[in-house]
Structure 1
């Protein structure tokens, strides 16, 4: 099992690319879906909490073929929700995308903020050589309902 990767940063657009690069090194081939998810979660902080907000990203293998991604920010009230975006809207599809590629996601309050988490399948855990996202049995949420 890998050690937990912890990245503390300010939520600015240029930081998203850097976090994806670190995830590629940390997860190797297993990291494509994780990179997509962390990009979405960080982008949500930039848009909805504010550019420059302090963020902590945690990534760890759960030991059962799952990778858990957590993004903590200082806004306890800006809880992400799934929207139905109109065809011509530029935004509003992020949580639907997260739901489509992850095994599950949720939000829980933290001291002075919140943590948004999701889990994705590691490539080695996908059945019959499938590439992530693949579907593993759902373990149930460990956070608050969203």
Structure 2
């Protein structure tokens, strides 16, 4: 993202599952306050997936993870950084009976772009949602039935 943000938020969290819930709720609230309520649910889910990955795979004892949200004219960017730079994320296909392993597939399907930036200490996983989303055309079969006057 090369644009200057119109709105920006950053908060560090302790590496506990409860922190992911707090970050998700904060993202939902902020996007609504920032005038993008239609993007709030997807943004919250992306924060949850990336934050969950940070807690499960990226945190070290007594080290925090950071969630940043930036709103520009064209996109919302979610960034989550953690101290474990040697563990770079990559999508994988989880077995049907596995409880974990689908987070990055969700991020890839939901976001318009995502990636990883290696930091001096740790890594930053980011994704973006375009503010102007493409509208999916309604198929004829899904249109409401015409009403006929009698």
TM-score by length of 1: 0.79
For residue 109 of structure 2, what is the aligned residue in structure 1? Answer: 100
Alpha-carbon distance between aligned partners in 2 of 1:127 and 1:80, rounded to the nearest angstrom: 28
Q: Which runs of no fewer than 5 residues in structure 2 stay unpaired? A: 138-150
Displacement over 3 Å in runs of 4+: 50-53, 127-130
State which of 10, 13, 19 in structure 1 corresponds to 2:14.
Answer: 10
CA RMSD in angstroms comes to 1.9
Partner of 1:82: 91
Return closer, same or farther for 1:45/1:128 CA change in 2, 3 Å cut-off.
closer
Contact 1:71 1:117 in 2 (8 A): yes
Larger Rg: 2
Shift of 1:129: 8.7
Distance 2:108 2:136 in 1: 22
Could you tell me how far apart the structure 2 residues matched to 1:129 and 1:103 are?
Answer: 15
Instruction: Note if contact 2:17-2:55 (Cα within 8 Å) is conserved in structure 1.
Output: yes
Partner of 2:49: 40
TM-score (norm. length: structure 2): 0.77
Residue ranges of structure 1 left out of the alignment (5+ in a row)? 131-146
